[in-house]
Structure 1
Amino acid sequence: MKINGSPAYVKMVQGLIDHQKKAFEGTLKPNNRLFKNETPEQPPEIQQLRKLLEDSKRGVEKLAADQTAKKIARGETITEEERAKLRATDPEKLRKAEEANEKRASVSRRLARAKTKEEAAAILAGEKAMAFTIYDKGDQVLGELYLEAVGKAEVDYYQGKKSKPATLRDISDVKQERLFDIRL
């Protein structure tokens, strides 16, 4: 095969073809130079890219831990693997999430005992104000988890108070007029 073009292009394409042949034949040796840890001989651009990659990896792990903690605070079910991972990475966040879950259960019980919607709204306002105070003046993680928990309790309360939609059978029974009852 003849390759036409600039000498640099021809050399690159021939190198690529040789590389593919070696890979196909199984004689290609892995190039471990690319996978070594940071060494002084690496250019600063590669060191900077490695650092950015590690930072983004830590950011993804932190995001996953935050999502798991919020699930716990909302009272959602999580796997034992997620709980163990959060316990290993940030046990303090796990403790705070469980505390927020207890707060959610407490608020839900108080909302269930509320006699009027105004009383329920007052309970929710007080709990949200407490969560904002904790966030502003104390622990931001705990305040955020409390806010998640109170929000979930609020959603559950208002969804529980909504009337259930009528089923198809209920609608047909309501629309059907009976002139007389044949049952004896």
Structure 2
Amino acid sequence: MIDPTLTNAAAILLAAYAVLAAIDGLYIHLWRLRLHQRAETRCEHWLHTLRALLFPAFVGGLFAAPTAGALLWAAVGAAALDLVIGLWDVAIERDSRATLGGLSTAEYTVHVTLTMLHAASLALVLAARPASAWTLDGPMVLHTPMPGFSAALAINLVPGAIVLGILHVYLGLRGAQSANARVAA
């Protein structure tokens, strides 16, 4: 059985993460700084795009569905890849943001808080799974549903996350086209 206390605690942390990530991603990255439009921040934008595209996979696979076996491991793989891309993002941010004066203290604080919320929510939702869910030769879905709050939150986050992923791709491609047009002119 999936532990509802751990899963619901994970969902609360995920909700806080989603709100803060929306502020950071939509307002700071896309609107205020327009990272997708700057040549020096384009790589950073594409890392954010990859993370936006991975979010629905691991949120759906870990918070919405009672996954087990290979399906659980695929969702864990998506979450692990997201964490690796997040580290890559941190590694390039100093150079990426140099012409913008670097990251402000407020944005550093937001990023550290996001990392803590993200890691804690993943740790709790993974700990909530029974040991039997982790075997590769078992069923891909557990017979017990996810606790209601976790599932409801995830089901409501996934469509918006898909839209944000598409928006990131669109803006990244549009920013690249604008840069190419400026170079050609």
Instruction: Please confirm whether the aligned pair reaches a TM-score higher than 0.5, indicating the same fold.
Output: no
Q: Which entry has the higher C-alpha Rg, 1 or 2?
A: 1
TM-score (normalizing by structure 2): 0.28
